[in-house]
Amino acid sequence: MTEIEADVLAANAEFYRAFSARDVAAMEAIWAVEAPVACTHPAWPVLRGRRDVLISWRGILENPEAPTVEVRDAVVHAAGDAAIVLCREIVNGSPLEATNVFVRERGAWRIAHHHASGVAPSARGARTTGGDTPSAFDQRN
């Protein structure tokens, strides 16, 4: 693992730590300030702009019934001053797939985009590499 990959994975872990701990200040600190920010919560239209994205996270984290979240299988694809982390979230016991885009701002990796979406029960046992996926695309076919 490169130093960049390790740094990006650490930023991704901090994002989920803030989420899990309902730490609003830490959540605000991890989002990019200079780069455009967006967020696609599960089953929801994309939110554009830092203000609205942070309002949404405040709403989630301050909710007394905020969900539990665990993160698994994070991998990072670095591309210059940007990097993508793909990971599996377990939110209140249900699997979600997440795409997190990080940018480097003044030496620190910050999240610029988060997109999470649920995995259908019928697809949860599917292999994600190495084979055909005949039942994968119910929503598209």
> Which positions lie near a second copy, rule CB under 8 A?
35-36, 38, 40-49, 52, 55-56, 59-60, 63, 65-67, 75, 77, 79-82, 84, 86, 88, 91, 94-95, 97, 99, 101, 103, 112-113, 115-120, 123-124, 126, 128-134, 136-141
Task: State whether residue 140 is helix, strand or coil.
Answer: coil
Tell me the closest approach of the beta carbon of residue 7 to a second copy, in angstroms: 16
Among residues 14 and 39, whose Cβ is nearest to a second copy?
A: 39
Q: Quick one: DSSP state of residue 46? A: P
Tell me the closest approach of the beta carbon of residue 123 to a second copy, in angstroms: 5
Count of other CB atoms within 10 angstroms of residue 123: 16
Tell me the closest approach of the beta carbon of residue 14 to a second copy, in angstroms: 19
Among residues 14 and 61, whose Cβ is nearest to a second copy?
A: 61
Residue 71 and residue 95: Cα distance in Å, rounded?
A: 10
Q: Are strands 108-118 and 82-91 parallel, antiparallel or unpaired?
A: unpaired
Q: Quick one: DSSP state of residue 28? A: H
Tell me the closest approach of the beta carbon of residue 33 to a second copy, in angstroms: 14
Q: Quick one: DSSP state of residue 98? A: E
Task: State whether residue 117 is helix, strand or coil.
Answer: strand
Q: What are the tokens at 133?
A: 């996926």
Among residues 6 and 75, whose Cβ is nearest to a second copy?
A: 75
